[in-house]
Amino acid sequence: EGSNAESGKKTLTVYTESGFKPFSYLDKGEVTGFDIDLIDAVLSEAGYEYNLENVGWESMLASVQSGEADLAIAGITMNEDRKQTYDFSQPYFESTHKIVFREGEQITSAKDIKGKKIGVQTGTTGAEAAEQIVGNNDKSISKFESNSLAFMSLQSGDVDVVVTDNVVANEYVKNNPDANLDMITDSETFESEFYGILLPKDTALKEDLDQALQTIMENGTFEEIYQEWFDT
């Protein structure tokens, strides 16, 4: 682990999982996305240098728990379950779930996924949302290591629907106009949730991140990054 000569702060190890466009994804082999720009702004504001590592979803979570990673960002929802094991920064983005399906499937509310072959990303809040409808580990549910793999399986016809985060669903449907996909949300069933930066428990880093996040939310930097990714 290096340290930044000027500030005396150590160089952080930041993990992400790039199957989550537009928050974290690969563009010509480079990790990019809203979350990548956001963490860059937060850490620069907080005076940290960092190395970004792109890993799988489950190893990302495990590495933050063990402290091998100092933090992770990838549209990670703050929920009670994870708060037992991790700390989170202040929230930075509101989200809910959507159901993406091939045009022609009769799906007008969340409960219509019953009887369908359902694709989700393993260990996500989307997986939980689907399980709340059809039952835990119901055999109609296929769990994929990444959200991108769940979407591929939808396009190939291996699953009928994918339950995932709304902004990621919007992005995928927009970017795949020839796939004949449709989507719905269901505010009666799917609750609103918030993304936060994931941290090991009880670090001093959390306060630095929260302060920097607050600063960039007040000084217009957050808004600039937001506009760049979502309002153009």
Nearer to ligand GLN, 57 or 151 (CB): 57
What are the Cα distances from residue 13, in Å, to 2, 92, 203? Answer: 10, 20, 14
Closest approach, Cβ 114 to ligand GLN, in A, equals 22
Instruction: Name residue 230's amino acid.
Output: F
Query: Which residue shows structure tokens 């005076």?
Result: 47
Beta strands 12-16 and 71-72, pairing class:
parallel
Local structure of 53: helix, strand or coil: strand
Give buried/exposed letters for 109-129 (b at 16+ CB in 10 A, else e): ebebbeebbbbbbbebbbbbb
Q: Are 161 and 116 in contact (CB under 8 A)?
A: yes
Nearer to ligand GLN, 107 or 169 (CB): 169
Closest approach, Cβ 206 to ligand GLN, in A, equals 18
Closest approach, Cβ 121 to ligand GLN, in A, equals 5
Nearer to ligand GLN, 76 or 221 (CB): 76
Q: Which residues bind ligand GLN (CB under 6 A)?
A: 17, 20, 57, 74-77, 121, 124-125, 147, 165
Nearer to ligand GLN, 164 or 221 (CB): 164
Nearer to ligand GLN, 45 or 163 (CB): 163
Beta strands 141-144 and 118-121, pairing class:
parallel
Closest approach, Cβ 76 to ligand GLN, in A, equals 5
Closest approach, Cβ 110 to ligand GLN, in A, equals 17
Local structure of 32: helix, strand or coil: strand
